[in-house]
Amino acid sequence: MSREDAVKAFPYDVDEKERSTTARIHTEYLLSTSAVNALTSKFMEIFNSNLDQQDALVEGTEVDLYDWLWRQVFRASTTALCGSKLLEMYPDFGVEYQIWEENMLGMLFGTPRLFARQAYAARDSTVRKLERWLEEGYRHSPANGEDLDWEPYFGAKVVRKRHEFYKQQGLSIHAQAGFDLIFLAGILSNATPATGWLLLHLLSPTSPEGFRGQVMDELRSAQRGDGSVDIPALTRLPLLNSAFQEVLRLYVDLLVVRQVDNSTSLGSHSVRQGEQIMAPSWMTHRNPDFFDRPNEFQPDRFLKRNAEALKGRFFPFGGGHYQCPGRIFARQEVLGTIAVLLLNFDIDFVSFVDRGSGTKAPGTASFPTLRRNYAGNQVVGIDGDMRVRIRRKTKPAN
């Protein structure tokens, strides 16, 4: 966005009691129980509907698991958040979005356009599409849409409230599109790879013996009689949630940044007022003084640790007032996706896949690795994939 729009978008003088702010919007529409449950319910509805429309899953088909999963979650999340019109207008929106997302940090750190032409072109194209989507939505979105949990032009309440904030601050349509793009990335760029890592570990022959079977027993206990999933029950399943926490410990690379208000000393280091300090989760989460065999995936690790023991040692969503506002929805989205796939489909390991060459590695020697990226990219991307055969389970006769 332009410098002028940036000043409007990030004001220092907003009266929080009188006017809207993004922090207030996120607190009310991403962190409240009713809002998160409505968003999760819409995501699950769309996710299930998309799977139901894939005829190949009835007979069974082979897919590269994470590549396939990314597309399913992207469509469901984007539609739940932004409404159905965006992807109806631009069915290929996810292709360019993924290119931009994978290169976002490099662009943030100032990689010149000359050395990242594809990434900049993808960003510019997605912003233009979002501009046209916004213009279309403002023409057609119902005036009483705020009373709805979801509507097709602008989706969830949190997005519609953000649009009210844009108008309040007088942002140009170009700046609004950029703001919506980075908001979408904040929701998608962490939950999707977290789902992928957890699913890969659940299905991998390299994982601890009995891990998948124990999780399946837990998932069945959260399945209702009609086959749907009880999301609140999912969030209470001990091993599943421990494994999710272990994924965050092992794969989150977060830099918690704070500005120093008063000069002070941290051990032998002096920091001055106005300077910034960073607390990297990667070093803390993999510190052998805090976590036994820290580079190993141990799905039951968090069954043995209480909250007090983890204080200051585990902060995958940041800390204090500035924790990620989408953390509750992300957790429900990840667990809900895992539950739907494992309860409704037979998924069998075929082989690991090298992402670069597309070759299948024999045996169990090539579990996907971390994608190379800049420090601080939150949930680290997946380099490699897993070839699986997936087939919808036959429903028992009444």
Number of helices (H), then strands (E), belonging to the chain: the values are: 16, 14
> CA-to-CA distance for 240 and 193, rounded, in angstroms?
16
- How far is Cα of residue 83 from the mean position of the Cα atoms in its chain? 18
- The H or E element containing residue 339 is helix 327-344
> CA-to-CA distance for 18 and 251, rounded, in angstroms?
40
Binding residues for heme: 324
pLDDT of residue 144: 61
pLDDT of residue 357: 47
> CA-to-CA distance for 76 and 235, rounded, in angstroms?
20
Beta bridge partners of 352: 361, 386
Residues 378 and 252: beta-carbon distance below 8 Å: yes
Alpha-carbon separation of residue 381 from 73, 122, 215, 322 (angstroms): 15, 19, 24, 23
- What fold characterizes domain 3-392? Cytochrome p450 (1.10.630)
Segments in the chain below pLDDT 50:
357-365
Binding residues: 324
Give the start-to-end residue ranges of the domains of the chain: 3-392
Amino acid at the residue 25:
I
Residues 61 and 390: beta-carbon distance below 8 Å: yes
Closest by CA to 128, choosing from 166, 86, 71, 70, is 86
The count of other CB atoms within 10 Å of the CB of residue 139 is 8
In sequence order, the 6+-apart residues with CB closer than 8 A to the CB of 301 are 242, 245, 246, 249, 291
Q: Give the relative orientation of helices 93-108 and 173-203 as an angle to the nearest 10 degrees.
A: 100
Q: Is the pTM of this model over 0.75?
A: yes
pLDDT of residue 79: 97
Residue where the block lists tokens 């039951």: 300
Q: What tokens does 386 get?
A: 């897993």
